[in-house]
Amino acid sequence: MTSSLFIQGQGDDLLVAAQNVLDSLIPYEREIQTNDDTWMLARIQPYCTLDIKIDGVVLTFTDITSRIKTQADLCIYAIAFESQEGIFITDASGVILKVNQAFTKITGYSAEEAIGQTPRLLKSGSQDATFYAALWESLISTGVWHGEIYNQCKNGEVFPHLLTITAVKGDNGVPFHYVASLVDITQQKEASEQIEQLAFYDPLTHLPNRRLLKDRLHQALASSARKKQQGALLFIDLDNFKTLNDTLGHDIGDLLLQQVAQRLLSSVREEDTVGRLGGDEFVVMLEDLSENPEEAAVHAEIAGKNILVTLNKPYLLAGRDYRCTSSIGATLFYDHTMTEDDLLKHVDIAMYQAKHLGRNTLCFFDQAMHSVLTERAALEANLRLALEKNQFRLYYQMQTTHGNQIVGAEMLIRWQHPEHGLILPIDFILLAEETGLILPIGQWELEMACAQLKTWEKHPQTQQLQLAVNVSARQLHQADFVGQIKTILKKYAIEPNRLKLELTEGIVLNDITGTIAKMQALKSIGVRLSLDDFGTGFSSLSYLTQLPLDQLKIDQSFVRNINVKHSDALIVQTIIGMASNLGLEVIAEGVETEVQRAFLEKHGCCLYQGYLFSMPVPLEAFEQLLR
Ligand code: C2E
Ligand code: MG
Ligand code: MG
């Protein structure tokens, strides 16, 4: 028994097998992978002589590499066919030949039910003829089609599927099979719809949110130009919504917002857009109003007034009756002459104008008003930089006695604007107060005043001078205002009674007790307190007696009229008498004439400030006057 055993490492096994074949006479077969990646079938059979005697074994090798590979491929195909994707294969005429298990799972149709049918089995009616025409067109020209399709499953329900169809073509290029795969994308679709809902809709009212609104507005602008039609934007803000929220709670507030959303939707045409910007702010976009702006404005006004009426009707909020008015700002739009943001700004301004006019009203955007506001915004931006850029100047206006002795000065601020020149406080102090900028400005002024007092302290001729500094209500109401004053006084180590704080009657408006306590604290440090513009506020005499004041400053409006209006002269006299009764010093501001001064002196006011003595001037000029 011989054989050339060239298959490395298999020799011993085959020898044993050959011996077994000899003993048992049962042929032996074995697939062997050779080291060069080919497969051989080794076959050992008994060798029989002509006289039928067993005379050994025959060992043959057959190359079976391609068969083995085909088997492996088929195995892969079979696994792939039973994937998560539903697969069906049709013949050239579309008759289903084979489906996998996932197909059954997705569509509900078993292999028996599907085979022999055509894909019309799944037709939902959701796609029209043009859809199928495009599908076939793509299949014929490119051999594939891929897209979303709504299929009706066996239970009658319609689901979105991602479908890929591939034509299997013969050598002649003619398809003989179509292989189609289906993926159920219901969940993805739901998720993406949910994401879209979150991204573009307000969760409370389900109305488009600011983002979607801006997008729609953008489209509306383009379409207005195309159709040559004016559109209008209405900005609706509920009056006193905050009060409702604060008193009855947010849940009730939410109920109102939901009902308002419903009413808005029902009071406009179907093609109009209603959205919620946030809070109690809603927007209505009306399109295709008219070619003519005046006519469009009339339509917008009618729609706006209709909304006012609708929103005014009583609401029922968790069993409570509630009534609420609203304010509407409106503007027309046409073409991309303005951006969406500009338009939203315009309606916002107009809405504020409506609020200003007493609420429950509609107001169109007005360019003149817009200019004022734009200017103010620019001023505010500049004002923020003014302190940093050292653009504020302090002027001094002397305060004198009837004996012409200078007792000190009032410090008055000016803004040296690089373009607009010297700006008077009347044009920026209010804005500084509203924006809170008065806090750093005021702090800076107090520092400057104390530094100046320190300088004056060093010279006998200026040692006695007092400096009056105007303090806004907002400054005084800071929690640590007293602490700030203490720190500054300590820093410059000055005599506190040289510093006089001028407060106005407005400071007591909100919190009388708190203000009095604060003033007392200031007073106990030794700082002087003067009540500025006295007589112009709504002072009640009862609290006046409680304020720890040192001085009353008669407002210049009364001083000016001393010789003009008898009643004003009388007021001046009364204030002087009152100050004297309360043991307070009294000073008159705005003294311009000798007649006024004489009147004041005659009635007992011996301190004056006004152009008669000096205009407010820069420090150097003031020091010149001292000499
Ligand atoms: P005020 O404190 O009552 O200041 C008096 C105002 O009257 C000053 O105007 C002054 O220039 C002006 N004035 C003085 N004498 C006469 C006169 O004889 N005739 C007329 N017609 N006017 C006279 P100003 O400087 O424009 O200040 C206006 C207001 O701005 C001040 O009224 C004060 O309320 C506020 N203000 C000025 N400076 C400051 C400041 O530094 N801080 C704060 N918070 N407010 C300031
Ligand atoms: Mg003043
Ligand atoms: Mg004043």
- From 438, 470, 530, 534, mutation site for ligand 1 pocket: most ligand atoms within 8 A of C-beta: 470
**Are 574 and 455 members of one domain?**
yes
Ligand at minimal distance from the CA of 502 is 2
Which residue from 292, 269, 277, 286 is spatially nearest to 331, judged by alpha carbons?
A: 286
**Are 65 and 130 members of one domain?**
no
In this predicted structure, the answer to whether residue 521 has a pLDDT above a threshold of 60 is: yes
CATH assignment at residue 259: 3.30.70.270
Domain ends where: 162, 189, 216? 189
Which residue puts its alpha carbon closest to atom 37 of ligand 1?
412
**Are 96 and 232 members of one domain?**
no
Judge contact between 396 and 452, C-beta under 8 A.
no
How far CA 398 is from CA of 115, 364, 394, 468, 551, in Å, comes to 107, 49, 13, 10, 16
Ligand at minimal distance from the CA of 426 is 1
Give the confidence band of 540 by pLDDT, cuts at 50, 70, 90: low
Dihedral angle sign, alpha carbons of residues 434, 436, 441, 445: positive
Ligand at minimal distance from the CA of 500 is 2
Domain ends where: 311, 336, 365? 365
Range with the poorest average pLDDT among 75-79, 124-128, 187-191: 75-79
Ion ligand 2 neighbours, Cβ < 5 Å: 470, 502, 532
Q: Which of 150-184 are b and which e, b meaning 16 or more Cβ less than 10 Å from the residue's Cβ?
A: ebbbeeeeebbbbbebbbeeeeeeebeebbbbbbb
Report the pLDDT value the prediction gives residue 373, as an integer from 0 to 100.
66
Report the pLDDT value the prediction gives residue 145, as an integer from 0 to 100.
95
Give the confidence band of 48 by pLDDT, cuts at 50, 70, 90: confident
**Number of the ligand 1 atom closest to the C-alpha atom of 592:** 18
**Could you tell me if residue 375 is inside a domain?**
no
Which residue puts its alpha carbon closest to atom 22 of ligand 1?
590
Give the confidence band of 5 by pLDDT, cuts at 50, 70, 90: very low
Q: Average pLDDT over the chain, rounded to whole?
A: 91
**Are 159 and 279 members of one domain?**
no
**Could you tell me if residue 194 is inside a domain?**
no
**Are 402 and 434 members of one domain?**
yes
In this predicted structure, the answer to whether residue 6 has a pLDDT above a threshold of 70 is: no
Q: How far is the CA of 520 from the centre of ligand 1 (A)?
A: 25
Report the pLDDT value the prediction gives residue 3, as an integer from 0 to 100.
38
**Number of the ligand 1 atom closest to the C-alpha atom of 504:** 34
**Are 172 and 308 members of one domain?**
no
Give the burial class of 544: count Cβ atoms within 10 A of its Cβ; 0-12 exposed, 13-18 middle, 19 or more buried: middle
Range with the poorest average pLDDT among 103-107, 113-117, 193-197, 225-229: 193-197
Which residue puts its alpha carbon closest to atom 45 of ligand 1?
470
Ligand at minimal distance from the CA of 395 is 1
**Could you tell me if residue 216 is inside a domain?**
yes
In this predicted structure, the answer to whether residue 538 has a pLDDT above a threshold of 80 is: no
Which residue puts its alpha carbon closest to atom 10 of ligand 1?
616
- From 504, 589, 597, 613, mutation site for ligand 1 pocket: most ligand atoms within 8 A of C-beta: 589
**Are 165 and 255 members of one domain?**
no
CATH assignment at residue 18: 3.30.450.20
Which residue puts its alpha carbon closest to atom 46 of ligand 1?
470
Q: How far is the CA of 412 from the centre of ligand 1 (A)?
A: 6
In this predicted structure, the answer to whether residue 2 has a pLDDT above a threshold of 60 is: no
Give the confidence band of 171 by pLDDT, cuts at 50, 70, 90: confident
Q: How far is the CA of 354 from the centre of ligand 3 (A)?
A: 33
What are the residues whose beta carbons fall under 8 Å from the beta carbon of 430, sequence distance 6 or more?
A: none
Q: How far is the CA of 265 from the centre of ligand 3 (A)?
A: 54
**Number of the ligand 1 atom closest to the C-alpha atom of 429:** 45
**Are 518 and 597 members of one domain?**
yes
Range with the poorest average pLDDT among 59-73, 90-104, 584-598: 59-73
Give the confidence band of 7 by pLDDT, cuts at 50, 70, 90: low
**Are 435 and 569 members of one domain?**
yes
**Number of the ligand 1 atom closest to the C-alpha atom of 612:** 18
Please give the average per-residue pLDDT across 187-202, as a whole number. Answer: 88
Beta-carbon count within 10 A of 469 CB: 22
In this predicted structure, the answer to whether residue 4 has a pLDDT above a threshold of 60 is: no
Judge contact between 218 and 272, C-beta under 8 A.
no
The pLDDT tens digits for 441-455 are: 999 999 999 999 999
Q: How far is the CA of 163 from the centre of ligand 2 (A)?
A: 81
**Are 317 and 445 members of one domain?**
no
How far CA 522 is from CA of 446, 450, 474, 533, 546, in Å, comes to 14, 15, 16, 20, 14
**Could you tell me if residue 251 is inside a domain?**
yes
Counting the structural domains of the chain, the total is 4
Please give the average per-residue pLDDT across 168-182, as a whole number. Answer: 89
Give the confidence band of 9 by pLDDT, cuts at 50, 70, 90: low
Which residue puts its alpha carbon closest to atom 4 of ligand 1?
412
Range with the poorest average pLDDT among 6-10, 119-123, 429-433, 443-447: 6-10
Report the pLDDT value the prediction gives residue 327, as an integer from 0 to 100.
96
Q: How far is the CA of 444 from the centre of ligand 1 (A)?
A: 18
Which residue puts its alpha carbon closest to atom 38 of ligand 1?
412
Give the confidence band of 517 by pLDDT, cuts at 50, 70, 90: very high
What are the residues whose beta carbons fall under 8 Å from the beta carbon of 411, sequence distance 6 or more?
A: 394, 395, 396, 445, 448, 449, 467, 468, 469, 470
Give the burial class of 75: count Cβ atoms within 10 A of its Cβ; 0-12 exposed, 13-18 middle, 19 or more buried: exposed
> Helices 367-386 and 340-356, interaxial angle, to 10°?
100
**Could you tell me if residue 147 is inside a domain?**
yes
Q: How far is the CA of 563 from the centre of ligand 3 (A)?
A: 20
Q: Which residues pair with 90 in a beta bridge?
A: 96, 178
Report the pLDDT value the prediction gives residue 55, as an integer from 0 to 100.
80
Q: How far is the CA of 424 from the centre of ligand 1 (A)?
A: 9
Give the confidence band of 8 by pLDDT, cuts at 50, 70, 90: low
What are the residues whose beta carbons fall under 8 Å from the beta carbon of 260, sequence distance 6 or more?
A: 205, 238, 280, 282, 311
Q: How far is the CA of 484 from the centre of ligand 3 (A)?
A: 24
Please give the average per-residue pLDDT across 142-148, as a whole number. Answer: 93
Report the pLDDT value the prediction gives residue 505, as an integer from 0 to 100.
83
CATH assignment at residue 579: 3.20.20.450
Report the pLDDT value the prediction gives residue 627, as an integer from 0 to 100.
85
Q: How far is the CA of 626 from the centre of ligand 3 (A)?
A: 23
Q: How far is the CA of 619 from the centre of ligand 1 (A)?
A: 16
Give the confidence band of 552 by pLDDT, cuts at 50, 70, 90: very high
The pLDDT tens digits for 302-315 are: 999 999 999 999 99
Q: How far is the CA of 472 from the centre of ligand 2 (A)?
A: 10
Ligand at minimal distance from the CA of 396 is 1
Q: How far is the CA of 373 from the centre of ligand 2 (A)?
A: 28
Please give the average per-residue pLDDT across 571-599, as a whole number. Answer: 95
What are the residues whose beta carbons fall under 8 Å from the beta carbon of 232, sequence distance 6 or more?
A: 285, 286, 289, 296, 297, 299, 300, 303, 330, 331, 332, 333
Beta-carbon count within 10 A of 193 CB: 10
Domain ends where: 189, 209, 241? 189
* 541: containing domain: 383-626
Helix, strand, coil share of the chain (percent; to 5): 45, 25, 25
**Number of the ligand 1 atom closest to the C-alpha atom of 433:** 44
Report the pLDDT value the prediction gives residue 98, as an integer from 0 to 100.
93
The pLDDT tens digits for 385-428 are: 999 999 999 999 999 999 999 999 999 999 999 988 999 999 99
**Are 572 and 466 members of one domain?**
yes
**Number of the ligand 1 atom closest to the C-alpha atom of 502:** 2
Judge contact between 273 and 211, C-beta under 8 A.
no
Ligand at minimal distance from the CA of 533 is 3
Type of residue found at 424: L
**Are 158 and 218 members of one domain?**
no
**Could you tell me if residue 76 is inside a domain?**
no
What are the residues whose beta carbons fall under 8 Å from the beta carbon of 520, sequence distance 6 or more?
A: 548
**Could you tell me if residue 571 is inside a domain?**
yes
**Could you tell me if residue 74 is inside a domain?**
no
Around ligand 1, the residues with Cβ closer than 6 Å are: 397, 411-413, 424-426, 429, 442, 445, 470, 472, 502, 532-533, 556, 589-592, 609-611, 616
